[in-house]
Structure 1
């Protein structure tokens, strides 16, 4: 399969950067700094301007360097368009059984949105690659630890309220991935074209993750 999702890239730094309503001409520039800092996975939401064109362009430019996916996929029609654009993975804000099953059949990784333990369990057993727990804002890291206590086989990705300041708390609670949007992409830096500052911001996130992983190895 051309332009396939790389699990190796994702595992290297399991943060999904969520690009929503980003100016289309800005995205490729931003993505270059993102990749150079060591981040590996980007999601372009379908409710963004020129989302499909942006996905195609990113997939072509960053083949083998970044995983590029489509977010806010809610219907089979959305899925068809996203895959047609070259999306390497699919993210949904809701648990849509048809979309999950179609992704599984097409062998495309899918991170469906779920909230309650029942929804999370259902999403996983439908064939989710990882379950996006959304919105995680009010749940906090302790929620993940509690859900995983009886179902430790689940792979969970908190999204919504995950920030560079708190993401290690979610990892420590058992999360296997993280979804980060506006906190990872500061609006002011991007609007003002402060690319060096943005690059430094990305590098701080990467270093914090690496420090967390290294500390685990020494325990």
Structure 2
């Protein structure tokens, strides 16, 4: 049984780290630093080799974190993720069958969408939050424009989000943001430069706390 997803943790630190194709040998160290810096929600993409085992391992080792599965496009991948103990599901697309299956399993689901019609369709199908992807082509203003008529829908922009602009997306109305390579520095991980990686994680946390304090 997966542990319940903590929306409170995500609201307190609205960053979803997206781990894609990280070598298994470096997994625990990277996630340890991630947690130490105050980040709380982590997505392992299902196109990562050994993704199911990574989700299972992290769920056991880091019970305070939200550990989910991303890039879920097929029912077979969803079944693997559920069996591994994922506490939430992220998809790059809107598939009503996948959304329904997540809801039936009691799992929060964040399907991907791009246009207002797709966003609303995902919401009506039962999405807990909608992954706006790719957000970099649209920018924060798009979030603000979409939220004007669709303010009941929680949006999570992914793609093109970085340290410089992530608070701009939040200020425009996003409920959280998702980051992959802009958060998990590949060269620092490859060189096992853990001090640099930890400082980079901390920069996101500190910037959000400063943004939060200024509200």
TM-score when normalising by structure 2: 0.98
Give 2:88's aligned residue: 89
Unpaired runs of 5+ residues, structure 2, are none
The answer as to 2:202 corresponding to 1:193 is no
Give 2:74's aligned residue: 75
Q: Per-residue deviation at 1:2?
A: 4.7
Give 1:32's aligned residue: 32
Give 1:19's aligned residue: 19
Secondary structure of 1:206's aligned partner: helix
Give 2:51's aligned residue: 51
Q: Is 2:68–2:89's contact at 8 Å kept on the other side of the alignment?
A: yes
Computed over aligned residues only, the root mean square deviation of the Cα atoms, in angstroms, reads 0.8
Separation (CA, whole Å) in 2 of partners of 1:22 and 1:58: 13
Secondary structure of 1:18's aligned partner: strand
Q: How far does the alpha carbon of each residue in 1:160-202 deviate from its partner, in whole angstroms, 9 at most, with x for none?
A: 0000110011011100010000000111100000001111111
Q: Per-residue deviation at 1:111?
A: 0.4
* Structure 1 runs of 4+ with >3 Å offset: none
Q: How far does the alpha carbon of each residue in 1:35-88 deviate from its partner, in whole angstroms, 9 at most, with x for none?
A: 00000000000000111110000000111x210000000011111110001100
Secondary structure of 2:25's aligned partner: coil
Q: Is 1:75–1:96's contact at 8 Å kept on the other side of the alignment?
A: no
Unpaired runs of 5+ residues, structure 1, are none
Q: Per-residue deviation at 1:9?
A: 1.4
Q: How does 1:59-208 map to 2 (within 5 A)?
A: 59-63=59-63, 65-208=64-207
Q: Is 2:94–2:112's contact at 8 Å kept on the other side of the alignment?
A: yes
